[in-house]
Amino acid sequence: MKSWMRWGHGRTRLTVESILLGLAVVLAAVWFSAPYFTRAYINRGLAGLPDYTGRVERVRIHPWTASLDLYEVHLDKRTGEIPVHFFNSPRWNISLQWSELFHGVERASVTVFDPQINLVAGPSLDQSQVSISKVWIDAIKQMIPWRVNQLNIHGGDIHFLDFHATPQVDLELSQLEITADNMSNSRGLKIPLPATVEISARPLLTGTFAMSLAVNFDEQFATFTQNFRLEHVPAVGANSALQKYLKVRVKSGEIGLYSELSSDKGIYHGYVKPFFYQLEFAPKPADEGNPGAVWSGLLNTVKGIFESDQHVIATQSQISGRVDQPNVDALSAFAGILWNAYIEALRPGFDPMHTPPQPTDTVTTPSSAATEKETTLPSPAAKNK
């Protein structure tokens, strides 16, 4: 044996080597078993939900980056009478935000890949899943060892389903992207609304949805300001739901919606502006040629009363109240329709007096990809003139 390998007495050397070997075995056992113990811990928390149950199929831990991946995360209603998951995602990544350590805090960044949420309406509570108890949020917190400061959702998909309708209802919000930053105010910003949330999606495949939110999550009732726009949504895409719930379908038309809202200490106020462009109703296929077709004709007649000269139905309704007691002024909405139809047509977009001080967003008009208009756009009918 070489001289550099000769250290201590034989018994001492054997003892030290045995200890090192034992530590190596323990570390190897921890290394290979930690994902299974972590998965079991998470699944116990998800199994304790009152109305739903959840499961994570596989966990992978990355100690060198202080992160872990969760694979095949799903939540299901306990009744077992619904054929689709309430929530399903092929992968979550939960990692420590190293940049926040410089601020003296341990915060997590969570990224959820390709999540799908299925909201299901059915003839009974056991066959429906349109809401979920807040208890599951506490259970999901057990999946994350640090307080969440950043949340990213990529490629989300939300469906509203009714398997008992004929035809079956399937309304889809696809390509959902969410970016939420500084949710726990780890940077200690001395501003009222330190967290920001940006959301975008494609409703009914061809529409556009965008939402901006500034919020303070640390208050009992979150203080926030938000604005969102919903544009170019084809009314035909909602025909399955219209036939089920309103006993009618549409032949043509687009839907738009604009809203701004702010809340302070649980008291909120704002407005919503819905637009219906060139909406035309038609009877359900089963009602054609029988008295059931009268309903669609009646709707077209009523629609004609409220339409402007550009075949647009629009209104603006004020929203105000408390977070736990929402209130929408229906009379204001009805009066707004009359005002739009006969006195002054509303213009799509945000009200100038409410528009946040930021660069003007632009939207490319459908009629010309090379021509960009400001947020305040003329109606499709006016553009075609």
**Mean pLDDT, residues 110-132 taken together:** 89
- Cα angle value 115/119/124 (rounded, 5°): 150
What are the two backbone dihedrals, phi and then psi, of residue 315, each rounded to the nearest 5 degrees?
-160, 170
**Mean pLDDT, residues 347-355 taken together:** 62
Spatial neighbors of 163 by CB under 8 A, at least 6 apart, are: 83, 120, 122
Residue 372: pLDDT above 70? no
- Better-scored residue on pLDDT, 302 or 288: 302
pLDDT band for position 179 (cuts 50, 70, 90): very high
* Tokens coding 10: 């034989």
- Among 100-104, 217-221, 263-267, 366-370, top mean pLDDT goes to 263-267
* Tokens coding 92: 């979550």
Q: What are the distances in angstroms from CA 62 to CA 68, 72, 95, 147, 340?
A: 6, 18, 9, 18, 59
**Mean pLDDT, residues 305-322 taken together:** 75
Handedness of CA 82, 158, 42, 27 (dihedral sign): positive
60-111 residue pLDDT tens: 988 888 889 999 999 898 887 889 999 999 999 998 887 666 666 678 889 9
Cα 201 from Cα 72, distance rounded (Å): 23
The per-residue pLDDT for 352 is 61
Cα 315 from Cα 346, distance rounded (Å): 7
Burial of 356 (0-12, 13-18, 19+ CB in 10 A): exposed
The per-residue pLDDT for 356 is 42
Cis peptide before 167 (omega within 30 of 0): yes
* Tokens coding 326: 């929402």
3-state secondary structure the chain: CCHHHCCCCHHHHHHHHHHHHHHHHHHHHHHHHHHHHHHHHHHHHHHCCCCEEEEEEEEEEECCCCEEEEEEEEEEECCCCCCCCCEEEEEEEEEECHHHHCCCCCEEEEEEECCEEEEECCCCHHHCECCCCCHHHHHHHCCCCCEEEEEEEEEEEEEEEECCCCCCEEEEEEEEEEEEECCCCCCCCCCCCCEEEEEEEEECCCCEEEEEEEEECCCCCCEEEEEEEEEEEEHHHHHHHHHHHCCCEEEEEEEEEEEEEEEECCEEEEEEEEEEEEEEEECCHHHCCCHHHHHHHHHHHHHHHHCCCCCEEECCEEEEEECCECCECHHHHHHHHHHHHHCCCCCCCCCCCCCCCCCCCEEECCCCCCCEEECCCCCHHHHCC
Residue 159: pLDDT above 80? yes
Cα 236 from Cα 249, distance rounded (Å): 8
23-56 residue pLDDT tens: 777 666 666 678 888 888 888 888 878 888 889 9
The per-residue pLDDT for 329 is 66
CA end-to-end span of the chain: 97
Percent of the chain with pLDDT over 90: 21
Residue 4: pLDDT above 90? no
**Mean pLDDT, residues 6-30 taken together:** 67
Residue 207: pLDDT above 70? yes
Range of weakest confidence among 20-34, 229-243, 312-326, 342-356: 342-356
Nearest CA to 42 among 55, 51, 53? 55
Residue 167: pLDDT above 90? no
What are the two backbone dihedrals, phi and then psi, of residue 47, each rounded to the nearest 5 degrees?
-70, -15
User: Are 279 and 290 a contacting pair, CB within 8 Å?
Assistant: no
Range of weakest confidence among 55-59, 102-106, 170-174: 102-106
User: Are 210 and 229 a contacting pair, CB within 8 Å?
Assistant: yes
